[in-house]
Structure 1
Amino acid sequence: MRDFHMPGRSEVLATNGMCATSHPLGAQVAIDTLKRGGNAMDAAIAGALVLGICEPQMTGIGGDCFVLYSDPKSGKVHALNGSGHAPAGASADRLRDAGHSAIPLTSPDAVTIPRAIDAFCHLSETVGTLGLDAILQPAIHYAEHGVPVAARVAFDWANDADTLQGSARAKYLSNGAPFQRGEIFRAPGQAGVLRRLAQQGRDAFYTGEIADDMVAALQAVGGAHTVADFAATCDMSTAPISGAYKGTDLIEHPPNGQGATAILMLNILSQFDIAGMDPLGTERVHIEAEAAKLAYDARNRFIADPDHTSRLDHMLSMDTAKKLAALIDPNRAMAAPADISEAVHKDTIYITVVDRDGMAVSLIYSIFHGFGSGIASDKFGILLQNRGAGFTLQPGHPNELSGGKRPMHTIIPGMLAENGHVTMPFGVMGGGYQPNGHARFLSNLVDFGMDLQRAVDAPRAFADGAVTKVERGYSDQVRQELADMGHTVVIPDTAIGGAQAIRIRDDGVLEGASDPRKDGCALGY
């Protein structure tokens, strides 16, 4: 139990349904959807679409999503891959010939076909109960009438506004400046898109005037995208992967997501007595940082489009983890492995919902970097992701850019299960940090017995490339001791990630926790 003398928040408790996400309006819409008779999938989609208006720097209908969800009758966990392909005309050779060693973040070459809307339409039809028209109405309302910009959103808006280019500046700036806390942001063009979706379904987005608008914006700045790229359909169904940590199963989305990285990292950490360490001490940060370097190096070598990922079993093998753990010096930091995958990010939204029947949804939805590519369609103002920057230009690499291929994705939804039953959908936003965040969160729960909210709140550290980022919640002594061990320690300007989680208790009570690093909350009824 937390110390009530100290600042903080308690877990939210309810029995009929729960949502935890990064903005209160998204959580409220999800709960309202449950009260209207929708199930957890309806609520998660409705809330996520509203978050695209509340947090447009993080996500939107020009982005991708990954989803894990449980069947309340069978208990089986399903995965859905709502990530898009590079256009058929994409070419790594062309970029290399132009002198590029990485895909330019704000170029049309970084724009893959947005598939979140495809995923939402499919899930609404096959899993939801209310119908697409009903679950789109809250987002249409907020896009039309606007939302006041929240504090964390305003902070990110100011940091990322320089990404915006062309017509995106008119649609996502306020008189040429970033939106400030409390200003009203409206997206009438997106409201029009959502209305057409409500009437006509997914084809309204991927064919006709809306698709033409996106293609025209991309071709105007040199993109290889065509209307055929948008009209093409793709298989989104897939199977989750999992690994066990001290009796708790961690369920992750498979490649092209980086969920296998979290499983590998926990397998490495299981070779050490993490529970015997100070949860906020130097030793834990060091061992975790070294495990992250090794797990992320494997990610960068192996994870790619599902049709090109051939070493997944190797990544998930405990023998692999044991060999990697043996490389860790408990007293000295290793050099960071070369980063083959070209770009990571810190911008996304995550929403989790559990309904009264026990369906759990873990949904993550993103446009990649802050404001994505910075390219927006002229008529409807659809801000297009730069997820293609997750490709590499290294010849022959499994994740090399190629037409019709999906890039390695950093977004990963998570779930925990015990004895074959889902006990917690959760997610940790933060781009490249996400696998580390999943491992840290589960370790907080299992190794240190932290309450759910405390496990979310606890200070974070992350070996991010050549530097070890250590939040201000750690002591100066820890930072100095890490530096003495060879880590290049920095205090990040932006807090590391943001987590949301819902525990499903045996007695039917739901516990929700939401990260104070974001503007959001957990709500139940």
Structure 2
Amino acid sequence: MRAYRDGGNAIDAAIAAAAVLTVVYPHNVSLGGDLVALIRTPNGVVRCVNASGWAAGGADVVGLRAKHGRQLPATGVDTVTLPGGVRGWAALRRFGARLAWAGCLEPAEHLARSGAPVALSLAAHLGDAQNAALFASTDFAEVFRPEGRDLRAGDPLIQPALAETFAALRQRGPDDFYDGSLAARTVAYLRSQGSAVTTADFERFQPEVVAPLSIDFDGLRVHSSPPNTQGFVLLRTLRAMAESGIRHPLGAGLAAFLRICLHGNMLRDKYLADPRYGGVDAPALVAGGLDQSAEFGGLPPGPSPIPRGDTVGIAAADDDGYAVSLIQSVFGAFGSGLVDPVTGVLFHNRGTGFSLDPASPNVIAPRKRPAHTLTPVMTTRDGVLSHVLSTMGGQGQPQILGQVLLRAMGGATAEEAVSAARAIVGAQVDGATAESVTIEQDLSERAKSALAAARVEPLVVPSHTDHMGHANVVFVDGDGTMAAASDPRSDGSAATDRY
């Protein structure tokens, strides 16, 4: 809101918010992570900015198999791909940002230097036993366990090294992160940890700006990001649902809706990869009807830990016709766990999304991008903005966004749409498998009955649990009136204002 009141537009607001989140929400997002966004400009054109980073030019799949076996680890230097987020911000700015670059980053620098109160979700992740091993690193512990003291909700999180990095970015611009002194330091740090990344990898990286994937659905044009992201899963779900004539997909038709989602997940896991390396047919992935062979599975016999943390989703729009759905991430909680003590930058672990299977289209290769979960979404009606949708939620992002959108189209307010109970198929929470269904306990009785009739035994989690996603949205009425809402599962907030 400060960015708007300073004369900025939705681009400035989204970048300012994203920068602040890299300071105050480091379990989900950092300067050392990726970005994928949709942007709509006042002329009605929607574009996708894909700033997901690639593997090192010297990535050695044979060596990684010898070191790690069948799959990459969840944390550590071998999971670090090049961070694309900062150049993603720069790419977004070229669509018409109004505020100076330095001004957009000033709040983030201030909060890193003076401290921000630890959010509830951050406190929970710092105390999560699944993340305890990260504190074995002195560099990680110095930031997140200062002077050996556990940080609790409300305690100040002070990051002086990160503040200096923001000061350098404000002074020298975003390219310094890729071909300046910050880049030189980052490469030196990562190589000291055993990474194969080089200065050339950073210098040559540029985000892709491409047309989104889009379909027509019940009077709306629904836009999402193309591969290497999983945006196609949402679009094919909506298309297949319409073609199959499913009624009440979040009630009596829930099992059929989730079966389509399950089949989309299966296609994603089998085919999703970086299309620059061939073999990814996005239109074919979007097309297709209801596949009855996609069968739900039962619950596993033992625990199956799911990586925690993930992503942030920002939705912004303004009266001039700009709109942004921005998704930014470190992937698992605190990403790779690597924090450069000089720059304060925490690096993501998005590389763990690569396969080591030589038969997989997603097998790691030099300067290849991994299959990505980030899924920004936007809808228009006759070229006019209707919805800006964003969420975290890992593999479940398309399903979360689909349920929010379907509720909105059924008449729900923005707040009602993001607050309603969710059901997600796939490995979403601890104890879930790729074929199992997780539901929040306050899911409607009609929906629960539909699952029971389909012989689905769901895993039931508490209402508004963190792991079922943080959706943030802007809805626009036909007269241009905007409403915004932030998920009660998150620490976020929403606001609308005339400026």
TM-score w.r.t. the length of structure 1 is 0.85
**Matched letter for residue 368 of structure 2:** K
How many residue pairs were aligned?
A: 477
- Matched residues in 2 for 1:275 and 1:479: separation? 16
Structure 2 equivalent of residue 75 of structure 1? 44
Q: Is the 8 A contact 1:63 1:367 kept in 2?
A: yes
- Matched residues in 2 for 1:250 and 1:57: separation? 30
**Matched letter for residue 352 of structure 2:** A
Structure 2 equivalent of residue 410 of structure 1? 373
How far apart are 1:451 and its partner, in Å?
2.2
Structure 1 equivalent of residue 109 of structure 2? 140
Structure 2 equivalent of residue 260 of structure 1? 232
- Matched residues in 1 for 2:446 and 2:100: separation? 55
**Matched letter for residue 114 of structure 1:** P
Structure 2 equivalent of residue 505 of structure 1? 477
Q: Is the 8 A contact 1:125 1:132 kept in 2?
A: no
Q: Is the 8 A contact 2:32 2:347 kept in 1?
A: yes
Q: Is the 8 A contact 1:88 1:229 kept in 2?
A: yes
Shift in CA distance, 195/394, structure 1 to aligned 2, threshold 3 Å: same
Structure 2 equivalent of residue 20 of structure 1? none
Q: Is the 8 A contact 2:315 2:388 kept in 1?
A: yes
Shift in CA distance, 310/351, structure 1 to aligned 2, threshold 3 Å: same
- Matched residues in 1 for 2:17 and 2:114: separation? 16
* Pairs within 5 Å for 1:267-282: 267-276=239-248, 279=250, 281=251
How far apart are 1:428 and its partner, in Å?
2.2
Q: Is the 8 A contact 1:257 1:303 kept in 2?
A: yes
Structure 1 equivalent of residue 402 of structure 2? 439
* Per-residue CA distance 1:311-333 (angstroms, 9 max, x = gap): 2121122xx2x2x43446xxx73
Runs of 4+ in 1 over 3 A off after TM superposition: 174-178, 271-277, 324-328, 332-336, 343-346, 475-488, 492-495
How far apart are 1:483 and its partner, in Å?
6.1
- Matched residues in 2 for 1:50 and 1:239: separation? 28
How far apart are 1:380 and its partner, in Å?
1.4
Shift in CA distance, 357/484, structure 1 to aligned 2, threshold 3 Å: closer
**Matched letter for residue 452 of structure 1:** A
Give yes or no for the alignment of 1:250 onto 2:212: no
Shift in CA distance, 272/360, structure 1 to aligned 2, threshold 3 Å: same
Secondary structure, in 3 states, of the residue corresponding to 1:424? strand
Give yes or no for the alignment of 1:112 onto 2:81: yes
How far apart are 1:155 and its partner, in Å?
2.0
Structure 1 equivalent of residue 303 of structure 2? none
Q: Of 371, 380, 386, which aligns to 1:423?
A: 386
How far apart are 1:484 and its partner, in Å?
7.2
How far apart are 1:96 and its partner, in Å?
1.8
Structure 1 equivalent of residue 125 of structure 2? 156
Q: Is the 8 A contact 2:274 2:280 kept in 1?
A: no
- Matched residues in 2 for 1:421 and 1:178: separation? 49
Give yes or no for the alignment of 1:173 onto 2:173: no
- Matched residues in 1 for 2:450 and 2:323: separation? 42
How far apart are 1:487 and its partner, in Å?
3.3
- Matched residues in 1 for 2:55 and 2:268: separation? 20
Structure 2 equivalent of residue 449 of structure 1? 411
Secondary structure, in 3 states, of the residue corresponding to 2:385? strand
Secondary structure, in 3 states, of the residue corresponding to 2:488? coil
How far apart are 1:97 and its partner, in Å?
2.5
Q: Is the 8 A contact 1:70 1:361 kept in 2?
A: yes
Q: Is the 8 A contact 2:296 2:437 kept in 1?
A: no
How far apart are 1:427 and its partner, in Å?
1.0
Give yes or no for the alignment of 1:221 onto 2:193: yes
Give yes or no for the alignment of 1:86 onto 2:55: yes
Higher normalized contact order (CA 8 Å, seq sep 6+, divided by chain length): 1
* Per-residue CA distance 1:369-408 (angstroms, 9 max, x = gap): 1100001112112100011111111113221101100111
* Per-residue CA distance 1:237-288 (angstroms, 9 max, x = gap): 11111112222221001111110111111222224454346x4x4x433223
Structure 1 equivalent of residue 431 of structure 2? none
Shift in CA distance, 199/99, structure 1 to aligned 2, threshold 3 Å: closer
**Deviates most, 510-519 or 162-171:** 162-171
**Matched letter for residue 42 of structure 1:** D
Secondary structure, in 3 states, of the residue corresponding to 2:58? coil
Q: Of 42, 49, 62, which aligns to 2:19?
A: 49
Shift in CA distance, 170/488, structure 1 to aligned 2, threshold 3 Å: farther
- Matched residues in 1 for 2:422 and 2:293: separation? 23
How far apart are 1:184 and its partner, in Å?
0.6
How far apart are 1:199 and its partner, in Å?
1.2
**Matched letter for residue 50 of structure 1:** V
Secondary structure, in 3 states, of the residue corresponding to 1:117? helix
**Deviates most, 363-372 or 495-504:** 495-504
Q: Is the 8 A contact 2:486 2:492 kept in 1?
A: yes
How far apart are 1:207 and its partner, in Å?
3.4
Give yes or no for the alignment of 1:65 onto 2:28: no
- Matched residues in 1 for 2:367 and 2:169: separation? 25
**Matched letter for residue 47 of structure 1:** A
- Matched residues in 2 for 1:466 and 1:173: separation? 38
- Matched residues in 2 for 1:125 and 1:476: separation? 48
- Matched residues in 1 for 2:414 and 2:445: separation? 26
**Matched letter for residue 486 of structure 2:** S
Q: Is the 8 A contact 1:85 1:407 kept in 2?
A: yes
Q: Is the 8 A contact 1:344 1:410 kept in 2?
A: no
- Matched residues in 2 for 1:88 and 1:62: separation? 18
Secondary structure, in 3 states, of the residue corresponding to 1:106? coil
Structure 2 equivalent of residue 487 of structure 1? 456
Secondary structure, in 3 states, of the residue corresponding to 2:495? strand
Q: Is the 8 A contact 2:27 2:309 kept in 1?
A: no
**Deviates most, 232-241 or 75-84:** 232-241
**Deviates most, 200-209 or 260-269:** 200-209
Secondary structure, in 3 states, of the residue corresponding to 1:98? helix
- Matched residues in 2 for 1:290 and 1:304: separation? 23
- Matched residues in 2 for 1:449 and 1:273: separation? 20
How far apart are 1:122 and its partner, in Å?
3.1
Give yes or no for the alignment of 1:367 onto 2:337: no
**Matched letter for residue 382 of structure 1:** V
Structure 2 equivalent of residue 190 of structure 1? 162
Shift in CA distance, 374/346, structure 1 to aligned 2, threshold 3 Å: closer
Shift in CA distance, 39/334, structure 1 to aligned 2, threshold 3 Å: same
Shift in CA distance, 91/484, structure 1 to aligned 2, threshold 3 Å: farther
* Pairs within 5 Å for 1:275-424: 275-276=247-248, 279=250, 281=251, 283-307=252-276, 308-317=278-287, 320=288, 322=289, 324-327=290-293, 333=296, 346-424=309-387
